[in-house]
Structure 1
Amino acid sequence: MPRLLGVDIPSNKKIEFALRYIYGIGPTRARALVEELGLDPNMRAHELSEENLNRLMATIAEKKWIVEGDLRREISGNLKRLQAVNCYRGIRHRRGLPVRGQRTQTNARTRKGARRTVGVVRKST
C-alpha cells in the first residue's frame, strides 16, 4: 500500500481515484496531477515507482496546495474564529444546525441528528 503525504492510499485502485484519499485532493486536482506528470490513467497505485511517488509529492508542494493536516487545521481554525466572534454562522455551527439558510422545521436531519421525541410525561396513579 503506497504511502503519500502520510496517507495510505489504496493499492488496487487506479491512480486518479487513489489520490482522492488524500484530504484536499478531489477529482479535479487528481486528474490534473495524473495528466501533468504524464502517468498512465489506467495504472494502479501499487504500480507506482518510488520516483513517481516523489514526483507526486514534489508537484503538490510546488503548486502550494494545502492538504491533509494543514488543511484540517485551517478549516477548524476558521470555524473556531466564527464561533468566537459570535456571528450567525458561528452560532449555527455551535448549535449543530444548518448554516446556509436551509429550512429546519422539516428536514435538516443530517445536521440535527436523529429525531428526539418530546412528549408529556404522565403521572402514574
Structure 2
Amino acid sequence: MKKIFVLVVFMFVCSPGIAQSDTQESSSEITVTQDKEMEQVKKQVEKAEAEAKKEKKEATDKKKEEKLKKQINSKEKSISKEGKQIEKLKNQLEKGKLKGTLSPVDIQKIEDKVAKSQMKVMKEQEKLKKLNRKL
C-alpha cells in the first residue's frame, strides 16, 4: 500500500516536471524546483507512513483491550462458579451433619474440597486484580 502511494505521488510530481521541461528555463531553476517538489513528496510520504503506523498501533491497542476484557469476564465467571460450588458443598456438609448420614471421612473430604475451592477462588481473585490493573 505504501509503495503504491509513493508511486502515485511520484508520478504526479514527475508529470508537471516533464511538462515544465519544454519551457526555456535555466537548469539551476529546474533543479531548485525539482528539489522543492522532492522535499514536499518526502514530507507527504513521511506523514502517510506516520499515519499508517499510528492507525496500526491503535488497532493493536484495541485488540489488546478487548482481549483483556474477555479475560476479566472469564475470571469473574470462574470465581462465581467456584463460589457456587463452595456454597453447594457447605450445604451438603450441613445437611449430612444434621441427618447424621456422613462419616467423619466423608466430612473431612468435603471440608478439603471446600478449602481447595476457596484457595482456587483466592488465586483467581489475585489474577483478576492483575488483569484490572493492566486495563
**TM-score, normalised to structure 2's length?**
0.28
Kindly indicate which of the two structures has a greater share of residues assigned to helix. 2
**TM-score, normalised to structure 1's length?**
0.30
CA radius of gyration, larger in: 2
